């Protein structure tokens, strides 16, 4: 039996690392995984959706695919549901517009309570329900 060590590159396949006490490596690995995931969603979104800008309906090919970007509908880049429901393919121009609109909206108008979109997430409609359910019997 020969034990081969893979220098540097951690084997992405198994994850069966018996030296689990090597915290640093784990942290590095986790960071790498996260980077992979962030790259991964673009890949997935491009597989899932046709290469068309969701705003100006410009079509894309391999040649100009760089200009097609993945927009997060809720603007949370960490929210990447596997069904792609938070993704929207936008060309870089429409993507810019999309984000500018958001910042202009919040900075410019200064509308405080007219915008329902920025309602604070403090109110949880299920809290009362849980109380009812939990406190009942
Ligand atoms: Zn566009
Ligand atoms: Zn975006």
Is 123 part of any domain? no
Is 77 part of any domain? yes
Structural domain harbouring 34: 24-107
Distance 71 CA to ligand 2 centre (A): 4
pLDDT at 17 over 50: yes
From start to end of the chain, where are the E strands? Answer: 68-72, 87-91
Is 10 part of any domain? no
- The ligand minimizing its distance to the Cα of 52 is 1
CATH number at residue 80: 3.40.1800
Is 129 part of any domain? no
pLDDT of residue 21: 73
Per the structure, the count of domains in the chain is 1
Q: What is the mean pLDDT of residues 82-110?
A: 85
Evaluate if pTM is beyond 0.85.
no
Is 93 part of any domain? yes
pLDDT at 137 over 70: no
Q: What is the mean pLDDT of residues 118-123?
A: 52
Picking from 6-10, 31-35, 83-87, 131-135, which range would have the lowest pLDDT averaged per residue?
6-10
Distance 97 CA to ligand 1 centre (A): 9
Q: How far apart are CA 32 and CA 27, in angstroms?
A: 9
| Length of the chain measured in residues | 137
pLDDT at 15 over 90: no
Is 28 part of any domain? yes
Is 98 part of any domain? yes
- The ligand minimizing its distance to the Cα of 92 is 1
């Amino acid at each position: 039996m020969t034990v081969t060590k893979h220098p540097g590159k951690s084997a992405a396949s198994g994850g069966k690392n018996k030296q689990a006490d090597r915290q640093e490596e784990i942290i590095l690995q986790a960071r790498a995984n996260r980077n992979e995931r962030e790259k991964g969603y673009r890949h997935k979104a491009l597989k899932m959706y046709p290469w068309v800008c969701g705003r100006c309906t410009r079509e894309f090919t391999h040649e100009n695919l760089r200009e097609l970007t993945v927009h997060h509908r809720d603007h949370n880049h960490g929210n990447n549901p596997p069904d792609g429901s938070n993704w929207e393919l936008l060309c870089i121009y429409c993507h810019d517009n999309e984000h500018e609109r958001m910042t202009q909206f919040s900075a410019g108008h200064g509308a405080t309570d007219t915008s329902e979109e920025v309602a604070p997430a403090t109110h949880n409609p299920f809290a009362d329900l849980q109380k009812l359910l939990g406190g009942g019997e």
